[in-house]
Amino acid sequence: MNNSLPRLIDGMVATLRKEVIPRIEGEYARGQAFGIIYMLNNLKLRCSWSNAFLMEQLKALEGVSRDLAPLAPDLAGAPLPDIHAPAALPEVGTLEAMRDAGDGRVCDLIDWLAANRARLPAEAAASVESIVDAYLARQAKYEISTSAKPMFVEMSGGAEKT
């Protein structure tokens, strides 16, 4: 891919809006097309080309750098590439599993606190609750800040909101 992902999505959305949707027959089908726009807008806020995709390109660059290096003494002043790919980057699936395990632990803590509150120092229980609530607020705020503006009017009516 030679374009940035955000620009690619902007282009797809503009094409759908200007060229495709006006020619679609039927409210439901147009609503679904607006659904595609909405989901693309969400992807734009959360996605980038994947680590694995870029890593493969870096490894190729590392290879060409390694292959050229022995020739350096004969190529005085040549701008030889000297690229080193990072040893490893976590896979998205690994990060997702870590997040889910962490959230699972927070769920367990919330349930445990409710079951054991009576025997805990009131101040400690209140502090745990306050810290957990701050965590929940932070996660919700981030999730919302990386979500596109809802398009339920368009999706249900199959027409641009007026």
Partner 1 sequence: MREPPGGSSGDAPAFETVARLRGRLGQYLSGAVGRTVSVERVTKFPAGFSWITCEVSLSGFPGVNEAILRVGPPYGLFAPYSAMPEFESLSALAASEVPAPRVYHASDDPAILGAPFFLSEKVEGDTPLPWGSQGQTIQGARRESLAADFISALAALHRFDWRATPLAKWGEGVTHENAALKQVDDWEARFRRWALRPHPMAHRALQWLRGNAPVAERLSLVHGDYRLGNFLEREGRISAILDWELVHLGDPIEDLGWAFLPQYRGGTPLVCGLASETDFLSRYEAQAGRPVGPASLRFYRVFSLLKLAFTHMAAARCFENGLFHDLRMPAMATQISPVFRQIGRALDEAA
Q: Applying CB under 8 A, which part among 8-16, 76-84, 86-94, 102-110 lies near partner 1?
A: 102-110
Supply angle C-alpha 138, 139, 142, rounded to 5: 85
Among 3, 4, 15, 32, binds partner 1 (CB under 8 A): 32
Task: Kindly write down the DSSP assignment for every residue of 89-100, as one continuous string.
Answer: ---HHHHHHHHH
Burial of 30 (0-12, 13-18, 19+ CB in 10 A): buried
* DSSP 3-state of 43: helix
User: Judged by CB, which is closer to partner 1: 66, or 105?
Assistant: 105
Number of residues that bind partner 1 (CB under 8 A): 40
- Site residues (vs partner 1, CB under 8 A): 27-28, 31-32, 35-36, 38-39, 42, 100, 103-104, 106-107, 110-111, 113-114, 132-133, 135-137, 139-141, 143-144, 147-148, 150-153, 155-157, 159, 161-162
